Amino acid sequence: MSGVYIVYMKFFQRSLKTKIIIGYAAGVLSIIAFILLSWSNLSSVGSIDASGDVVSELFDTTLEIRRYEKNYFLYRTEDDKRELYNYLGQAGELLDREELLLFTSERVLEELRLDLRQYGELLQSETAGAGAAGEVELETYIRDKGKKIVATTEEISARRNIIKGDALDAAKRNLVIGITLLFAGGLLGGLFFYSKAVKPLAVIEGHMQSITDGEFSLIGEQFNDRELISLKSAFNKMLIELRERQDHLVQSEKLASIGTLMFGVAHELNNPLSNISTSSQILREELGKGDLAYQQELIDQVEEETDRARDVVGSLLEFTRTRDRETFSLRRAVDDTIRLLKAEIPKGIRMHIQVPEDLELFADKQKIQQVILNLLQNAIDATHGEGEVRIVANSFTDHGDKVEIVVIDDGMGMEKKVMSSIFDPFFTRKADGHGLGLFIVHNIIEEHGGTISVDSNPGKGTSFSIVLPAKEQ
């Protein structure tokens, strides 16, 4: 018994292909059974109908016997007498047909044969002559016997109609039952196919759709069939590899941003270092001389430029440092980001910052700076070196304290079909872009429980609007 169960589990329970084949075979067999059942019902009705013709012929023959009996007693012609005997012979032959047993019993047929024989004998006696009184009495006997014969065949004919009607009703009932069973079997088969194939594939399709939305969630649903288990395993393996590749690309994007910042840092450090170098050289030359006030001024300049360089390096460290969420000044975060990006801003770009000094935000400061950096870089690229870029922030209350950050440019703008895809991974209009900048921005904002939207008109500019919770949730 255990061996049978193992075979069942191996070849039926765990194989979608086997289930589909068995379901298909069951469907075909059901259709064949329905066809055979319908054919059997039709054959039965046809057989009853064909056998019923014998009953009709017998009944019609007895009616003819009665008709010629009446004519004979009225006109006493030899033709009527001959036809009467002829129909009696036909009736006797019909009683030997086996088809009649479908509609009556052998006993009834024997009684009918006896009545026909007695009828013939009475008719012969009447022909031989029995006197006037005897002829009247004999004629009465013959008429009564003829009535009994017709009554018996009429009962057989009525029975034939009942049996034929019952056969038709049974055929209709079997047809309805067959169609109902086929429909129910088809419905159950459809539900089975849906639950075992369509539904799991729809789950996989949903996960594939989530990939296009940037969500790399593994398939956690449990499948029982080998094919679906293999498909799930291959999909999850592909998804893990894709996630790792995306992580590498995201890291590359972040490193590229840091590389851009390093260029700005180098530019920002160059001036204070040059000033420190110059002041140090002059101070060396002034050593041993009496102008202490001038020497103190040079030392103050060195300290001032050192603080300036320290601020630049500190801004870079703040950007690259991983930290927990905290409350910080949004204005300072914006200023630090622009300081690091300063070397990348063309001279034809006019930067306007409208962020209140006291506006605070609870978030991961480094990630928010990365968002601002990406949006500012896109805005600068969209203006092609000539135009205006504004960053505006304010607080408001809507189901809790919120902060809105808007980055606006008057660059080339975007069409609607482009706007619908800009947050998708790997979507880019730049020849050297990875298409991950805005995807990362979108993920960071969602990670903070916020929203980001875009509004753009071709040739007029673009604005990105971010709404974030101001305080810890």
| Calpha distance 241→231 (Å, rounded) | 15
Is 255 among the domain residues?
no
460 has a pLDDT exceeding 80:
yes
| Average of per-residue pLDDT across 198-203 | 78
Structural domain tally of the chain? Answer: 2
Is 209 among the domain residues?
no
- Domain hosting 10: range is 2-201
Q: What is the pLDDT of residue 36?
A: 82
**Residue 11 binned pLDDT confidence (cut-offs 50, 70, 90):** very low
Q: What is the pLDDT of residue 250?
A: 57
| Average of per-residue pLDDT across 402-426 | 87
> Do 282 and 380 reside in the same domain of the chain?
yes
> Do 178 and 297 reside in the same domain of the chain?
no
Q: pLDDT by residue (tens digit) across 107-143?
A: 999 999 999 999 988 888 876 655 455 677 888 889 9
Of 142, 173, 201, the residue that ends a domain is 201
Is 253 among the domain residues?
no
Is 132 among the domain residues?
yes
Is 206 among the domain residues?
no
Q: pLDDT by residue (tens digit) across 14-59?
A: 676 777 787 778 878 888 887 887 787 778 778 888 888 999 999 9
Is 241 among the domain residues?
no
Q: What is the pLDDT of residue 164?
A: 86
> Do 42 and 169 reside in the same domain of the chain?
yes
| Average of per-residue pLDDT across 151-158 | 93
Per the model's pLDDT, the better-predicted residue between 241 and 158 turns out to be: 158
Is 24 among the domain residues?
yes
187 has a pLDDT exceeding 70:
yes
Q: Which CATH number is 122's domain given?
A: 1.20.120.1730
Q: What is the pLDDT of residue 5?
A: 47
Per the model's pLDDT, the better-predicted residue between 228 and 316 turns out to be: 228
Of 166, 184, 201, the residue that ends a domain is 201
**Cβ pair 462, 456 in contact under 8 A:** yes
pTM: 0.47
229 has a pLDDT exceeding 90:
no
> Do 24 and 173 reside in the same domain of the chain?
yes
| Calpha distance 65→145 (Å, rounded) | 11
> Do 277 and 171 reside in the same domain of the chain?
no
Single-letter code of the amino acid located at 446 = E
Q: What is the pLDDT of residue 44?
A: 77
Of 201, 219, 235, the residue that ends a domain is 201
Q: What is the pLDDT of residue 263?
A: 56
Mean pLDDT of the chain: 80
163 has a pLDDT exceeding 70:
yes
% of the chain with per-residue pLDDT over 70: 79
Q: Which CATH number is 465's domain given?
A: 3.30.565.10
**What distance separates the 2 farthest-apart alpha carbons in the chain?**
189
> Do 173 and 280 reside in the same domain of the chain?
no
**Residue 318 binned pLDDT confidence (cut-offs 50, 70, 90):** low
Is 363 among the domain residues?
yes
